[in-house]
């Protein structure tokens, strides 16, 4: 299911959202012109590799020097494939502008980064032995989705279900679409626990960590005159 647009009104220009999209897209485009070896070296150095913090001695064998957890931040702006960055940009474009509208640009930037760092921390906690870099804005976006779910639960989201690439669209409440998204993340994350040998190509725990952080923190970042919290109008 790929979201196409939503119906929640946005009353201000989402400069930070646009900036995040521009930075992620620019870095990705730049990396595409690099040789594969150089691109992989950047992702390894600036992506969050859990073993770097769990077993520094082992990480040194991969050429990973201690970085003071800097890669937990820089990894939020790296992507390893066209589909990866396309989906993240779609989610940012559709959902982040409304959340930024309720928080203001400065607060939204802080909220976004905190959710992203929380997502990286949760991924590290559950797979500390992981030796491949965790990349992408997905964890921070998950925090944005949590805020959107509480602030706009009944906004309509138009989604595309790509069955044989046919133009099949559905109009569903945000609470249904994002609720299904959360259930999917839980299913995939718990599958990893049950089946230890399952191949992992997506940082499911990072998604859940970002969503949990967003659910817990979003109220503290809303502008004083925000008209709704948790989907209920203020008096």
pLDDT tens digits along 119-165: 999 999 988 888 889 999 999 999 999 999 999 999 999 988 877 77
Rounded-to-integer distance, Cα 13 and Cα 17, Å = 9
Say yes or no: domain 2-222 is CATH 3.40.190.10: no
Banded model confidence at residue 187, pLDDT cuts 50, 70, 90: confident
Measured CA to CA in angstroms, residue 67 lies from 23, 40, 64, 178 at distances of 22, 18, 8, 35
Cα–Cα distance for residue pair 230/99, rounded to 1 Å = 12
Chain segment 46-103, per-residue pLDDT in tens = 999 999 999 888 888 878 888 888 999 999 999 989 999 999 999 999 999 999 999 9
CB burial readout 68-96, b (16+ within 10 A) else e: eeebbebbbbbbbeeebbebbbbbbbbbb
Residue 234 has a pLDDT of 34
Question: 223: how many CB neighbours lie within 10 A of its CB?
Answer: 12
Which band of pLDDT confidence, cut at 50, 70 and 90, is reported for residue 197?
A: low
Give residue 212's region: left, alpha or beta (phi > 0; psi -120 to 50): alpha
* pTM beyond 0.95: no
Name the band, by pLDDT with cuts 50, 70 and 90, for residue 193: low
DSSP letters spanning 43-110: HHHHSB-THHHH-HHHHHHTT----TTHHHHHGGG--SSHHHHHHHHHHIIIIIHHHHHHH-HHHHHH
What pLDDT does residue 166 have? 75
């Amino acid at each position: 299911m790929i979201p196409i647009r939503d119906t929640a009104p946005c009353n201000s220009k989402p400069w930070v959202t646009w900036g995040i999209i521009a930075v992620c897209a620019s870095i990705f485009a730049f990396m595409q012109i690099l040789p594969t070896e150089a691109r992989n070296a950047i992702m390894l150095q600036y992506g969050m590799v859990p073993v770097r913090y769990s077993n520094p001695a082992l990480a040194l064998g991969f050429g990973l020097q201690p970085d003071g957890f800097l890669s937990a931040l820089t990894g939020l702006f790296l992507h390893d494939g066209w589909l990866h960055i396309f989906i993240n940009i779609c989610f940012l474009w559709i959902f982040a502008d409304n959340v930024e509208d309720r928080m203001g640009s400065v607060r939204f930037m802080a909220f976004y980064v905190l959710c992203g760092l929380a997502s990286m921390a949760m991924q590290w906690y559950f797979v500390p032995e992981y030796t491949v870099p965790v990349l992408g804005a997905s964890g921070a976006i998950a925090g944005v989705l949590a805020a959107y779910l509480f602030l706009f639960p009944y906004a309509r989201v138009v989604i595309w279900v790509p069955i044989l690439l046919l133009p099949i669209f559905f109009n569903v409440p945000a609470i249904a679409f994002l609720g299904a998204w959360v259930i999917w993340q839980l299913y995939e994350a718990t599958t990893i626990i049950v089946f230890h040998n399952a191949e992992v190509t997506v940082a499911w725990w990072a998604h859940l960590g970002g969503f949990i952080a967003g659910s817990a923190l979003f109220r503290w970042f809303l502008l004083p005159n925000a008209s709704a919290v948790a989907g209920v109008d203020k008096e």
